[in-house]
Structure 1
Amino acid sequence: MNTSLFGRAAFGTLASLSLALTACSGNSAGSASELSGEPVTLRVTWWGSDSRAQITEQAIAAFEKKYPDIEVKGQYKDWNGYWDALATTTAGKDSPDVVQMDELYLASYADRGALHDLGKAKKLLDTSMFDHKALATGQVDGTQYALPTGVGVSSIVVNTDLFKKYGVALPDDTKWTWDDYARIGKELTDKSGGEIHGASGAPGFYAGDVKYWARQQGGELFDKDGNVSLRPEALAGMWKYGLGLISSGAGVKASTMVEDLTAGVTAGSFATGKAAMITAYNTQLTALQQATSAHLKLLQLPHADGTEANFLKPSMYWAVSSQSRHPAEAAAFIDFLLNEPVAARILKTERGIPANEQMLAHLQLALTGPDKAAADFMDAVPQGEPPVVTPNGGSGIEPALQRYTQEVYFKKTSPEAAAQAFVKELQSEIDAAK
């Protein structure tokens, strides 16, 4: 994994997705409010690793024990293969009953009628223990199409061993600014004699970066109508700041950033001890800890003027396909995964820190080390309201953003020109999907 929670697909993939999903609204035959009482087979699909599959199968077995009339057949793929398969089965009106969903694709599927309105399953799917901010991350135009399995917030992870080794004081993260971040980064680089860099990267490779920087200036990436509201000047300013990190030596070179993008968060310059700070989600602390074997600490992102620019990021969601013939049973399955203590004990934080506050409280007593630190950090960080869900047509934002960011950091394009072009391209993709 890189410093986003998941890999991303390109605009071209989304174009094929849009075609595949056209007119794919479902025709579910069952009621979403009452279990049929008859033997039912559910198909459930997700992306992820073999270890995720193993614990998911354990949770499925526990569900089947509670609901002996419901058989669950699970299937999983890697990230890219998952979305190709889901688009194909949905277009063929053969979607699995329960699907793991990502924020980038939620509106794309919801707008085309491919997801069930979970508000119609209230008798079977309890959402009372979810904070309203967490619930809002799964809503499109006010309708609850998905429930987050877990949530996280952006952070700065620091290698305190390197700070101590080179005699650099840790900042007060309740007060520090981006100027402080640049100064501390350069101090680390200089005091190490170039052995390390202070920062492993610069902002601009992920949509979360843009959302945060836009919010610091009172703006948003998308408005409530799903259009790009990002001001090009805000984006250009973010890139200018990144160029400053590179030129001063506070951050690694642009070529190293690209190498880190390919290597992923657990094999990049921070994980290998060549940088002392990295922007990451708090939920990535455990993986980083395992990769570095160093003492790590989570800090709040630098901020400006007391703005609450940080926000809950859903790690992923569970959703019910509108094509399911058993929406009630599908809702009961999601309810079990998200609301049952036995499922929480099996799944733990593998799909993120539980968005269900009761399940998080249930787990917190047993959490230790980086898992506990990540959960405690999320409780302590001030958060604004969740951003608007990525609109239909915008799912390819990160490949495009990374392309423009590399052009700027390799000085092939000016920040101003790249910002104008990026905003125009993203809006064109959204317009094309309407």
Structure 2
Amino acid sequence: MGTNGNLERRTILKAAGASLATVGLAATTGCGGNSGAGDGTVTIRYAWWGAEERTKRINQTIALFEKKYPKIKVETDFQDYVAFWEKFQTQAAGGNPPDVFQNSVAFLRKYDKRGVLLDLKSQVDAGNLSMDNFRAGVEKVGEVDGKLLGVPVGSNTMSLVIDEKVFEKAGIKAEQGWTWDEYFAALEKIRNTQKVAGDTGYFGIMYLYDLYLRQNGKAFFTEDGLGFTEADLTEWWTDGYNRVKAGIITDPKKVEQLKPKSSLAAGEGASEFTWDNFTVRYTTEGDSTYGLAPIPTTDGKQTGQYLSSLMLSASSRTKHPKEVAQFIDFMVHDPEVGKIMGYDRGILATTEQFEAYQPTDAPQKAIAQYEKDVAEAGVLGPITPHPSGADTVEAAFLRIAGDVGLGKSKVSDAVKQFFSEAETALAA
């Protein structure tokens, strides 16, 4: 997930809206990569989303790969998040997706259901791809229904980013195990003493709500659908809207006006929940110092956190499964690749790359330390594989929660609308 992660998450709305419109893929025979040349050289197509900096880094890693494997050439294609999934959907529907591509957990079941993804276990068995030396069990993220549908390139987990100067002036110290009541009391104290909203808008973040549900013995998704009730969501959104009215949450209109800049970096809020590897953006956007704080808890112990990941998946239609597997293996294990990519896509997933890359800047050091602290705290649990249609559900959650925050929709109406849209997406 990229260095501008909040923007990626918010623009999922457009991509997911498009995905709902296309609920079936054509059952056509595919092309995959180009045919092999007369000298035995083959070409594979590799696509990803992200900012320009990610593209520069990936192109450097491709040059290393082609040097090691001179008989494999790599054609590249990159887009921003929305354009990537719109294009990918069109390619997949036409039976010609890229041979290898960047992926995330929200899309695994969706495209496996449509026969697009290659089960990479056969390539592991053939010795073309190693699943050894992954950190903290992150390799399990790409396993769904007994298949290996993606190989992680990095790991991340939800975090709370704070404006350290504001928290210090308010006399607040966030510690592992603090509760939601303590967090909200801190936001109120920040508003009263520092004259700034304490949070930029937590209640519209699907992945944070998932953690809250997990703390309470539920989850946002089950393998088949939603893992919570209308009453659960009514309570969550009502509580959030009341805190907006109380002034401890940044005015949603202000948040919209500031986009794509974060309200936290703009000084219009003192904390923001996001994926830990997204936090490098705040230092570049803002004038304060920013740190990573623990996720609040219900019981003073469990945060509900898990490791998520960007990963590399392969097309079931590729003509070159061996070469694709060798490419993925190189990209997740080669130490020089790790040095080049750094934490652009999360904390490096394999020990070879994690040990090879030593961050020198404070934000990336903080990210590595945060994941280490979370792992040592023993709060990480297994991720729940998302059902097909999860991307559309996430988009609906973000959009409808935004309408609630802006006062455009009553909570009761918003909850009914969300469940209606979610049920339609998950049934597609």
Distance 1:28 1:275, change over 3 A: closer
Over aligned residues, Cα RMSD in angstroms? 2.4
Contact 1:189 1:197 in 2 (8 A): yes
Distance 1:303 1:136 in 2: 25
Rounded to whole Å, the distance in 2 between the matches of 1:238 and 1:171 is 25
Report the Cα offset of residue 18 of structure 1: 2.6
Task: Identify the residue that residue 395 of structure 1 maps to in structure 2.
Answer: 391
Deviations 1:16-46 (A, max 9, x none): 4433x2435758799xxxxxx9311111111
Structure 2 distance, partners of 1:397, 1:356, is 31
**1:28-427 aligned within 5 A:** 38-122=40-124, 123-131=127-135, 133-164=137-168, 167-192=169-194, 194=195, 196-204=196-204, 206-224=205-223, 226-260=224-258, 263-264=259-260, 267-305=261-299, 306-314=301-309, 316-363=310-357, 365-381=358-374, 382-427=378-423
2: CA distance between counterparts of 1:399 and 1:51? 26
Q: TM-score, normalised by structure 1?
A: 0.88
Matched AA of 2:75: K
Amino acid aligned to 1:49? A
* Residue of structure 2 equivalent to 1:3: 6
Following superposition, the deviation at residue 104 of structure 1 comes to: 2.1
CA distance in 2, matches of 1:361, 1:308: 27
Question: CA offsets, 1:353-412, max 9 Å, x none?
Answer: 11223321222x344311011011011114433332221123212321123213332345
Aligned to 1:15: 20
The answer to whether the Cα contact below 8 Å between 1:150 and 1:351 also exists between their aligned partners in 2 is: yes
Shift of 1:423: 2.6
**Quick one: which amino acid aligns to residue 175 of structure 2?**
D
Q: Secondary structure at 1:397's aligned position in 2?
A: helix
**Structure 2 Cα separation of the partners of residues 386 and 160 of structure 1:** 31
Please tell me whether the aligned partners of residues 216 and 307 of structure 1 are also in contact (alpha carbons under 8 angstroms): yes
CA distance in 1, matches of 2:50, 2:33: 30
Distance 1:148 1:245, change over 3 A: same
| Segment drifting more, 10-19 vs 399-408 | 10-19
2:201, 2:272 within 8 Å by CA — same for their partners in 1?
yes
Partner AA of 2:254 in structure 1: T
Q: Any conservation in 1 of the 2:51–2:80 contact (CA below 8 Å)?
A: yes
Deviates more, 1:64-73 or 1:420-429: 420-429
Q: Conserved in 2, the CA contact under 8 Å of 1:154 and 1:279? A: yes
- 1: distance between equivalents of 2:179 and 2:371? 20
- Secondary structure of the 1:317 match is strand
3-state SS of the aligned residue for 2:12?
Answer: coil
Q: Is the 8 A contact 2:20 2:392 kept in 1?
A: no
Output one character per residue of 1:64-99: Cα deviation in whole Å (capped at 9) or x when no partner.
Answer: 111111111111122222122212222222222111
Q: CA deviation at 1:338?
A: 0.6
- Taking structure 1 as reference, are residues 24 and 190 closer, same or farther at Cα in structure 2, changes over 3 Å only? farther
Find the counterpart in structure 2 of residue 34 from structure 1: none
Instruction: Tell me the residue number matched to 1:33.
Output: none
* CA-CA distance at 1:113 after TM superposition: 1.2
- 2 CA distance for matches of 1:387 and 1:153? 11
1:155-211: CA deviations, max 9, x gaps? 1111112233xx31232421321121221112111113x3x222222322x320221
Tell me which amino acid in the other structure corresponds to 2:219. E
% same residue: 26
Letter aligned with residue 405 of structure 1: A
Structure 1 CA distance for aligned equivalents of residues 303 and 166 of structure 2: 29
Task: Report the CA distance between 1:57 and its aligned residue.
Answer: 1.1
Aligned-residue offset at 1:298: 0.6
Residues 56 and 347 in structure 1, CA contact (< 8 A), matched pair in contact too: yes
When structure 1 is superposed on structure 2, of 325-334 and 237-246 the one drifting more is 237-246
Q: Unmatched 5+ residue regions in structure 2? A: none
Per-residue deviation at 1:132? Answer: 6.4
Q: Deviation digits for residues 266-308 of structure 1, max 9, x if unmatched?
A: x132111222111122112211112113221110111111224
CA 394–366 in structure 1, closer or farther in 2 if over 3 Å, else same: closer
1:393–1:120 CA distance, 2 compared to 1 (3 A): same
Question: SS at 1:298's partner residue?
Answer: strand
Q: Aligned partners of 1:146 and 1:401: how far apart in 2?
A: 25
- The one-letter code of the counterpart of 1:47 is W
**Unpaired runs of at least 5, structure 1:** 31-36
Distance 2:188 2:311 in 1: 39
* Most deviating of 233-242 and 151-160: 233-242
Whether the 8 Å CA contact 2:13–2:396 is kept in 1: the answer is no
How far apart, CA to CA, are the structure 2 residues paired with 1:259 and 1:96?
37
Q: Is the 8 A contact 2:156 2:277 kept in 1?
A: yes
> 1:5 touches 1:281 (CA, 8 Å); kept in 2?
no
Give the counterpart letter for 2:68 in structure 1: K
**Contact 1:153–1:282 (8 Å) recurs in 2:** yes
